[in-house]
Structure 1
Amino acid sequence: MTDPVPAVHAHGLDEIQALVGTELGPTPWCPFGTEELSRFTALGDEVRSGLSPAPTPDGVVGAAFALACGPQLGTSLVEFDGFAHGLNYGYNRVQVSGELPLGSRFRMRQIVVSAERTGAGVHVVARQAYEAEGADEPFCIALAVSRLFD
């Protein structure tokens, strides 16, 4: 098993572009138990994106929980310095190919796919792979989109 790694610091567009293709991670293990599921399902619909009030812990709910943790996990892997602020745009594409069992732990690895100057900022796309402890393959892969503003 690979140990968690400290966050990489990228200052400005050139240093972010230098990270393209580099795997960052993994993050520390995160629990997905009944307490985490209860707190997650207690959030309003604007956060849960239409999940039922008492969802069953299947692959979709586990992936939705993991994706909700994505922005925080991403900042534990890479910090973008030298910008006034950043915005998590969300996900371009999400592929759920397995389950995150209730009572398990998961972590994330991230690869910066692209970083491009757009107006007064930088548009960043990163491939996030979420893996359950003991699994051979990620249960969810997503393309996360962020915008950093000068």
Structure 2
Amino acid sequence: MVDTTNLPVRPQTFAELTELIGTELGPTEWHEVTQERIDAFADLTGDDQWIHVDPERAAASPLGSTIAHGLYSLSLGPAMSYTLLAFDGFTHSLNYGYNKVRFPSPLPVGSRIRMRASIASAEQVAGGIQVVLRVVVEREGSDKPVVVAESVARVVE
């Protein structure tokens, strides 16, 4: 049995991965969403839409403040997931993509977010193991998550 009391969980084999299916991992530590971080993300991606980078204009909007890009929240997924689940016992691992991504609620500046995850599936495929991780990024004080996604990884024993 894989011990899930200490994070990150470190499965070493396909069998240990399958033992984890359905087990909730997390939550991670809180991440503070600041205007500086939102602006840096906007600079990096070239997405400088006013709802993200113009606090004055955004304050007058129905949202009442700037909000982080949906992809800002999603881009934190790998770093957050590494604190929950480590594949360092495998020869190689990589981010293979996403099956589903949704942004159910906005993420206002000044919020704090964290992630929970669970392994939805682990199956042997040509060249390794495909692991599907269901991730939920939650905002402190909100009933609705800001991200719900299925992250896909490939690992090699």
TM-score by length of 1: 0.84
Contact 1:55 1:61 in 2 (8 A): no
Structure of larger gyration radius: 2
Percent of matched pairs sharing the same residue: 38
* Counterpart position of 2:47: 52
Q: 4+ runs of 1 displaced by more than 4 Å?
A: 58-61
Aligned positions of 1:7-18 closer than 5 A: 7-18=8-19
What stretches of structure 2 of length at least 5 have no aligned partner? Answer: 1-5, 53-62
Matched, 1:42 2:43: yes
Contact 1:104 1:133 in 2 (8 A): yes
Greater fraction of residues in strand: 1
Q: How far apart, CA to CA, are the structure 2 residues paired with 1:84 and 1:60?
A: 39
Q: How far apart, CA to CA, are the structure 1 residues paired with 2:50 and 2:14?
A: 41
Q: CA RMSD in A?
A: 2.0
* Counterpart position of 2:120: 113
Matched, 1:85 2:92: yes
Q: How far apart, CA to CA, are the structure 1 residues paired with 2:50 and 2:94?
A: 29
Change in Cα spacing, 1:60 to 1:128, as seen in structure 2 (3 Å) is: farther
- The match for 1:139 among 117, 141, 146 is 146
Aligned positions of 1:71-82 closer than 5 A: 71-82=78-89
Matched, 1:122 2:129: yes
Q: How far apart, CA to CA, are the structure 2 residues paired with 1:102 and 1:60?
A: 5
TM-score by length of 2: 0.81
Count of aligned residue pairs for this structure pair: 140
Change in Cα spacing, 1:118 to 1:60, as seen in structure 2 (3 Å) is: farther
Structure 2 SS opposite 1:9? coil
1:91, distance to aligned residue in structure 2 (A)? 1.3
Change in Cα spacing, 1:27 to 1:145, as seen in structure 2 (3 Å) is: same
Contact 2:51 2:67 in 1 (8 A): no
What stretches of structure 1 of length at least 5 have no aligned partner? Answer: none
* Counterpart position of 1:24: 25
Contact 2:139 2:145 in 1 (8 A): yes
Structure 2 SS opposite 1:116? strand
C-alpha deviations, 1:30-78, integer Å up to 9, x for none? 11111111221222xxxx4xx6234523798442111101011111001
